């Protein structure tokens, strides 16, 4: 029976450490600040932005929300980013995705000052992650590393399998595991013998966006299984990419959905904001 990895508890511990760092910086005259930009009325995005605001308040980070109408032009959004890039009160800038279809998301991300890119989506930061010389880590993969560490299992020398190759989770996740000396395999929709590959994994990270895609017969006994998915099952109930019930009987450690990876993502965003404040004030 797998040990449940409690993302809420790990996140609370890390947020406590972040709050201490923010307070210590304040004593040096540095107030950590973050701006979140939301364009349009996407309901999920509104919830994320609200949760980010709560996390800032909890950790003592100054936060601004810029809520723009759906019909905001590219020029208007770029002008706001320019203003935030130049604002010394703001250390981190996050433009909430998805953006309305008429806006060029890639161009907007590239417009954010890389030193204020707390999502680590800018090409410069992505490249730095690849070569191992990075200041910011993408929030979900960074949170997953913390969750794995919380189990006491070392990544060094382990077989690590990542299912999913997105720019937000799959690819950077593979890089972070590699930087921790894991032996990494990336699987995707064209992978043959997926079940056999999964069964070799000491650490299995699943980010495919398909409800209950990974079942217990795909899991190596005793493995650490991290479920990044957020889906609805046939009854409309929230579930992950892993079939929790069957995987729980085989895995050594397993994240639940909800309450696993989710709480860590926003927590690591706060951590990136603190790092940004230190860099911009010459403290690292």
CA dihedral of residues 157, 158, 164, 168 (deg, nearest 10): -60
Class of domain 139-262: alpha beta
pLDDT bin (cut points 50, 70, 90) of residue 240 is very high
Residue-wise pLDDT for 70-96, tens only, equals 999 999 999 999 999 999 999 999 999
Residue 170 assigned as binding residue: no
Q: Given a cut of 90, is residue 284 above it in pLDDT?
A: no
Q: What proportion of the chain, given as a percentage, has pLDDT over 90? A: 95
Q: Tell whether domain 30-122 is in CATH 3.40.50.10860.
A: yes
Per-residue pLDDT at 255 exceeds 90? yes
Domain-by-domain residue ranges, the chain?
30-122, 139-262
CB 118 within 8 A of CB 92: yes
Residues marked active site are found at: 52, 96, 119
164 assigned to a ligand binding site: yes
Rounded CA-CA distance 28/176 in Å is 32
Predicted local distance difference test score (pLDDT) of residue 204 = 98
Residue 44 reports pLDDT greater than 90: no
Query: What are the tens digits of pLDDT across the range 197-225?
Result: 999 999 999 999 999 999 999 999 999 99
Q: What is the pLDDT of residue 43?
A: 87
- Residue 246 in marked binding region: no
């Amino acid at each position: 029976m797998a040990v449940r990895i409690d993302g809420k508890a790990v996140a609370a511990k890390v947020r406590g450490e972040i709050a201490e760092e923010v307070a210590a910086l304040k004593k040096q005259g540095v107030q950590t600040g973050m701006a979140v930009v939301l364009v349009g009325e996407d309901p999920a995005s509104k919830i994320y932005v609200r949760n980010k605001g709560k996390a800032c308040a909890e950790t003592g980070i100054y936060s601004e929300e810029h809520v723009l109408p759906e019909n905001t032009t590219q020029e208007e959004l770029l002008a706001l980013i320019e203003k935030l890039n130049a604002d010394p009160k703001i250390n981190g800038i996050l433009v909430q995705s998805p953006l309305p279809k008429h806006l060029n998301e890639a161009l907007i991300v590239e417009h954010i000052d890389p030193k204020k890119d707390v999502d680590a989506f800018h090409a410069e930061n992505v490249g730095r992650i690849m070569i191992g010389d990075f200041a910011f880590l993408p929030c979900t993969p960074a949170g997953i590393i913390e969750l794995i560490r919380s189990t006491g299992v070392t990544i060094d020398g382990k077989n690590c399998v990542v299912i999913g190759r997105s720019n937000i989770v799959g690819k950077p996740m593979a890089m972070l595991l590699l930087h921790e000396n894991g032996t990494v395999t990336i699987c995707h929709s064209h992978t043959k013998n997926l079940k056999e590959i999964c069964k070799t994994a000491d650490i299995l990270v699943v980010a495919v966006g398909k409800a209950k895609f990974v079942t217990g017969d795909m899991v190596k006994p005793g493995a650490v299984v991290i479920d990044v998915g957020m889906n609805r099952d046939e009854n409309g109930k929230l579930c992950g990419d892993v079939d929790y019930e069957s995987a729980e009987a085989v895995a050594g450690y397993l994240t639940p959905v909800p309450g696993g990876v989710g709480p860590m993502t926003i927590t690591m965003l706060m951590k990136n904001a603190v790092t940004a404040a230190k860099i911009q004030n010459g403290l690292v």
